[in-house]
Amino acid sequence: MINIVAALPVEAKPIIQHFRLQKIQGNHSFTIFSNGDVELIVSGVGAIAAATATGYLAARRGHQQVVAWLNIGIVGSLSRSVGDAVLAHSVTDVTNGQRYYPSLIFAPMCDTASVVTVPKPETSYDGESVFDMEASGFYAAATRFNSNELIHCLKVVSDNQHNSVSNISEPLVKALITEQMEKIDQLVNEMRALIEKLGENAQATEDYRVIAKHFHFTVSQQLTLKSHINHWYALTNHVLLSELIIENYRNAKALLAELQRRLNTMPLSYIPTVRDNS
Amino acid sequence: MFSAIYIEEEIYSTPRVQNILERYPTLPRITIERYGEVFNRKAQNFRLQKLKPALILAKKYNKFVLPAPQEYSIGEGDNYYFSHMLNCVYDCRYCFLQGMYRSANYVLFVNYDDFATGIQQTAAAQPEKINYFYSGYDCDSLVFEPLSRFASYFLPLFKDIPNAVLELRTKSTQVRSLLDMEPIENCVVAFSFTPAIISQALEHKVPSIEKRIDAIKKLQQKGWKVGLRFDPLIYDDNYIAYYGELFESVFKKINVDELHSVSMGVFRLPETYFKNMAKLYPNEKLFAAKLDKQQGMVSYQQEIEQAMVQHCEQALLSYVPKHKYFPCSLS
């Protein structure tokens, strides 16, 4: 699942078209588009709007899932050319000095830059940083739901010392984002690859679902059950539910005790198996 | 090699930092105030960061030398450790670093002079005693040598402190700088080993046993003191055979008479670290079974641990004399 936060409809449009996102119908506080895998929310301008939209999107899916977060939009820069794409290696909120550092654990598909979030359009452009109005709000919110290896800001320069912010038009913004769609796509694919590395065992997930329905598990017991199931599949290829008759146990505690007992009597070998090598 | 380089502003212009930056001209360079703002922040995934850590160049301000438990001793004297670097290029699944730190990024403290002062002062405070200084606690002592020049700096320092012994603990084969200099009496290069099948499963990116043995042979031929560390002992249903093969392959090929020391340690982690590690790697065999929690520590079940220690110790002592063997066990 990839969540994208864009401030303006015109920034969102090329992304919506590229990923074939459909508008989610219903009574929502924000406009949301989705294809089941990529979800995009149009936040409105400003850090608070971006933070709120990020939280809203997180709540839609529940934040148990591993999700990547991307903020895509336009920025101003002193010296970079209009149309240049940059990936944030730091995000700074100029109003409170808060700083965030996205982990760039993949080869950046474009230059990286310090993104500085300002409360209103910046025209004095200072140094090497690029200036936007949403990134810090987005980042502050997103880090509540996932780790920063999966949270990134990709920005496209729309104005600089030679091209005034007042010249920004909807057709220009749409063209700038469209032009960088390949890099945005690359970034999405990098995120997908990282999410896959943290992927859950589907059989373990199903076993948990079946067993958890059968007894009342406290929150602590739920965590223990998940852990035991994962450990089961670390040690064996045998499907748990074909070896454990749930009905034989009176309650969650008894089932967990039996699982622990079986884990401790299972063979433990580091000789690689076909599953280890896959 | 690194995803990016973060540099504390205060040390940006120092020669050591500039030398390092010259080696990586294309990497993103991000200036920071203090390393903790990157290294200690919340919302980091150690497992993902380990795929491509960043390098953080920083200055350490205090606690240059810290006391180490006496149980880790390799001789009569007081024990200390110092950490010029945090985190390791290797990815050993039993390593406590992944449970202790939020970040897998490497932190290199470049103010070696301050560490040197701390070491000199510690040794000078007890001139009648031998003081052991362990350098491989938070990192591998040698793997980053071409970048850090750690051994190149600290070995001449220790040469001039006769009542100090430096242990360089490593799994690497980066011994070129040692082979290029004259050995010093008060340095032990200590290589860690685990049986091959277990190493392949749990010690990611670590050089093969054969390559490490080769490095040992070269060091011994040059005259360096070498130690062996079988730590931690890892349980496998076939551990007796695996450790037997390991001991035979190591002791058959190196000069046992010239060995400085051999130590063995058990697998033991603070419970909080273990929880973090098990969460990062929920499908890891190492965390799946045969473990027990007691008094805030996670270790193998007592009968397993005792059997392993007894057996491996007996096997070890068939190769090395008792006075060179230092069991490492925390009760």
Q: What is the pLDDT of residue B7?
A: 98
* Residue B30 at interface with chain A, using a CB cutoff of 8 Å: yes
CB contact under 8 A, B201 and A270: yes
Beta strand pairing call for B55-58 and B106-109: parallel
Contacts of B34 in chain A (CB under 8 A): none
User: Is-contact B101 B47, C-beta < 8 A?
Assistant: no
| Identity of the highest mean pLDDT range in A56-65, A235-244, B92-101 | B92-101
Compare all CA atoms of chain B with the CA of A193 and give the residue at the minimum distance: B48
* Residue B48 at interface with chain A, using a CB cutoff of 8 Å: yes
Whole-prediction pTM: 0.94
CB contact under 8 A, A268 and B290: yes
pLDDT at B217 exceeding the cut of 60: yes
Average predicted confidence (pLDDT) for chain A:
93
pLDDT tens track for A72-126: 999 999 989 999 999 999 999 999 999 999 999 999 999 999 999 999 987 888 7
CA separation for the pair B228, B316 (Å, rounded)? 11
ipTM above 0.90, yes or no: yes
pLDDT at A22 exceeding the cut of 70: yes
pLDDT tens track for B64-86: 999 997 767 777 789 999 999 99
Judged by DSSP in three states, A187 sits in helix
- CA dihedral over B291, B294, B297, B299, signed as positive or negative: negative
* Shortest Cα–Cα distance, B326 to chain A (Å): 27
Question: What mean pLDDT comes out for the span A33-55?
Answer: 97
CA separation for the pair A33, A13 (Å, rounded)? 10
Contacts of A195 in chain B (CB under 8 A): none
Compare all CA atoms of chain A with the CA of B43 and give the residue at the minimum distance: A147
Surface-to-core class of residue B163, CB atoms within 10 Å of its CB (0-12 exposed, 13-18 middle, 19+ buried) = middle
pLDDT at B219 exceeding the cut of 80: yes
Q: How far is CA B286 from the centre of its chain?
A: 20
SS3 content of chain B, % helix, strand, coil (to 5): 40, 25, 40
**CA angle centred on B73, ends B68 and B74, rounded to 5°:** 140
| Secondary structure E strands in chain B | 5-8, 29-32, 55-58, 66-67, 78-81, 85-86, 91-92, 106-109, 131-134, 164-170, 187-192, 203-204, 225-233, 259-266, 268-270, 291-294, 297-300, 325-328
- CA dihedral over B82, B153, B132, B248, signed as positive or negative: positive
**Among A142-146, B123-127, B318-322, B325-329, where is mean pLDDT lowest?**
B325-329
DSSP A213-263: HHS---HHHHHHHHHHHHHHHHH-SS-GGGT--GGG-SSHHHHHHHHHHHH
Compare all CA atoms of chain A with the CA of B104 and give the residue at the minimum distance: A103
Contacts of A271 in chain B (CB under 8 A): 197
Single-letter amino acid code for the residue at B286 = L
pLDDT at A277 exceeding the cut of 70: no
Q: What is the pLDDT of residue A275?
A: 56
* Residue B197 at interface with chain A, using a CB cutoff of 8 Å: yes
* Shortest Cα–Cα distance, A242 to chain B (Å): 19
CB contact under 8 A, B3 and A231: no
Single-letter amino acid code for the residue at A220 = S
Q: Which residue has the tokens 């005790």?
A: A257
> Long-range contacts: A23-29, Cβ < 8 Å, 24+?
A28/A56, A29/A56
pLDDT at A224 exceeding the cut of 90: yes
Find the CB nearest A112 among B28, B236, B282.
B28
CB contact under 8 A, B28 and A99: no
